[in-house]
Chains A and B, each alone.
Chain A
Amino acid sequence: MKQTVQMKLIQEKMKPGVITRDGFLDPDRRNLIDILIEDDETVKRMGLSHQQVAQRMLEFRDAGMRGLGEFISIEPHFEVRVDSVRGKLPCPFGDPGIFPKTNVTVRNLERNEEITYTDLHIHLIGSHGFYEGKGSVFRLDPKSLVDTLEITGEEE
């Protein structure tokens, strides 16, 4: 699909050193639209929507907040820690507001997997279906994310 001029501008903001040092795409050289389409198809093939993925991420975040910065056990076999570092980030899509650098680390003890994401990730996935470029430092692979968080699309 053809990339719009507006999307081209957004892609510029995603380059290393503009909003974050590593950017949101590097080393993925594809057009933003192609990255979005591929991840969208992956999520749809799993029978899910980006909003459902983001909702589950948010639920883990909210549950993890109760640990006050330490890992907390969450049934049936998860551990979650919500931690923060100094700083905030704006959305590269230009949405209003800035997002605190809150790291949510979810351990799936049964699968022996761990994943870390931020408030900005939740927003980017829920509002834009954006999981970052392949190979980029902070990319969340949709399949891995869904597997680790055991997202089924049913009410949690």
Chain B
Amino acid sequence: MGAFLIGVGAICGISTFLAVIIVVADSTIANYGDVKVTINDDKEVIVPGGRPLLASLMEQKIFIPSACGGKGSCGLCKLKVKSDIGDYLPTELPWMSEDEKKQNIRLSCQLKVKKDISIQIPEELFNVKEYLTEVVSLVDLTYDIKQVILRLIESAEITFRAGAYIQFEVPEYELTPEPVYRAYSMASQPSRKNEVELEIRLVPNGLCTTYVFEHLKAGDRVTINGPYGEFHLSDTDKDIVFIAGSSGMAPIKSILYDMLEKNIDRRARYFFGARAVRDLFLVDEMKELEKKFRNFKFIPALSEPLPEDNWMGETGLITEVLDRNLDSGDNIEAYLCGSPGMIDASIAVLTNKGVPEELIYYDKFA
């Protein structure tokens, strides 16, 4: 028995030793030299070998959307690899559908570039840039939502479509030893080219929101990159239904101001859900927009108003209010931004009213 245990122990020890040697060798001895990344069969960049593709591209100022900063926990940084780079890693597989595997879609944060590689990325990502900004103001919109206005410095301008989002770089601080990135929709409209407005809701223990709520102050420098996203107003004449809750207000606000500036006079109704008056924000601003927009109506609704709220407006879950106020889905296009639960429930109401699923656009916080 003793000899058996010694044998098992020896094998475990040797295995662990070899694994450590391999890891150490890969990170110190292995030198892959410079490798060539060919992008869309056209652009070529030279990067140091052995590093994750996402980080290598970022150093070349080519930004692939990623909400987790390269930890493989958001699944956003997918791109098509056109050359043979070996099998999928276990950390990639949970994110890949069968169809994506057939197309050799890979998770760029997990993929280390050890030899020349050819990739395909959407052309619009070449428009994504990094911007250094300064915090102009921080305003408490509610007890757990902050409005953050960032001014682009060095006369930089950002060009985007209303509804887009940026990535906010959280620098090293007590909760993170290295920079991390989080995605936030822009509440500012595209005409505000040299500033970005965000509406950020506090997430319990959230790395970025803790930083914003407890450390960020006016005058601080913040690095962002963007714009990203496919959530924007389509070019039709259909009536519009906006549905949002909480910080889902941001992209809808951007779209509304953009419509106003472009004289887009489509009929628009905006259903905004909150629990009580203390969870509502920008109501006065939305009411002002109603005066400027002949065809716009803002419909805030409270699911559990407090007696002291003296609320005279709509009550109930936003889906119930939507159900009561929308007679038919004819000629309707819907834009939703909020929690997955709210979006799924809203889609059910809209489709039940006859709004085709392909005319329901949404940005899930997921």
**Once the chains bind, are A69 and B205 in contact (CB under 8 Å)?**
no
Whether B71 pairs with A88 at a CB distance below 8 angstroms is no
Does B365 contact A86, Cβ atoms closer than 8 Å? yes
Asked if A68 and B319 make an inter-chain contact with CB atoms under 8 angstroms apart, the answer reads: yes
- B95 partner residues in chain A, CB cutoff 8 A: 88, 98
Q: For A47, list chain B residues within 8 Å (CB).
A: none
Contacts across chains A and B counted by CB atoms under 8 Å: 109
User: Could you say which residues of chain B place their CB within 8 Å of the CB of A66?
Assistant: 317
Q: How far is the CB of A26 from chain B (nearest CB, A)?
A: 12
The answer to whether B340 and A84 touch across the interface, beta carbons within 8 angstroms, is yes
Contact with B along A98-109 (1 / 0, CB 8 A): 101111010000
Mask: chain B, 179-219; 1 = CB below 8 Å from A; 0 = not: 01011000000000000000001011111000000000000
Contacts of A41 in B (CB 8 A): none
Q: Which residues from A are CB-within-8-Å of B339?
A: 68-69, 82-84
User: Are B73 and A97 in contact, with the CB atoms below 8 A?
Assistant: no
Complex alpha-carbon distance, A105 and B144, angstroms: 14
The reply on A19 being an interface residue by CB < 8 A is: yes
A85 contact set on B, CB distance < 8 A = 203, 206, 365-366
A96–B93 Cα gap in the complex (Å)? 10
With an 8 A cutoff between CB atoms, is A70 at the interface? yes
Contact in complex: B366, A84 (CB < 8 Å)? yes
A88 touches B12 (CB 8 A): no
A68-B245, A70-B246, A98-B94 given as contacts; is B340 within 8 A of A88 (CB)? no
A116 at the interface (CB under 8 A from B): yes
Count residues of chain B with CB under 8 A from any CB of chain A.
44
Residue-wise, chain A 106-131 has the 8 Å CB interface mask toward B (1 for contact) of: 00000000001000000000000000
Cβ-defined contact, A103 with B366, below 8 A: no
In the complex, A137 has a CB within 8 A of chain B: yes
B303 is an interface residue with CB less than 8 A from chain A: yes
A72 within 8 A of B: yes
- The answer on a CB contact under 8 Å between A70 and B365 is no
**Cross-interface CB contact of B204 among A19, A86, A87, A116, cutoff 8 Å:** A116
A140 to B281, CA, bound (A): 33
A to B CB contacts below 8 Å, 19 in the list: A21-B180, A68-B318, A70-B246, A70-B274, A70-B303, A72-B303, A72-B304, A82-B339, A82-B341, A83-B201, A84-B365, A86-B68, A86-B76, A88-B94, A90-B94, A102-B340, A103-B203, A103-B204, A137-B175
Task: List residues of chain B with CB under 8 Å of any chain A CB.
Answer: 12, 67-69, 71-76, 91, 94-95, 175-176, 180, 182-183, 201, 203-207, 245-246, 273-275, 279, 303-304, 317-319, 338-342, 345, 364-366
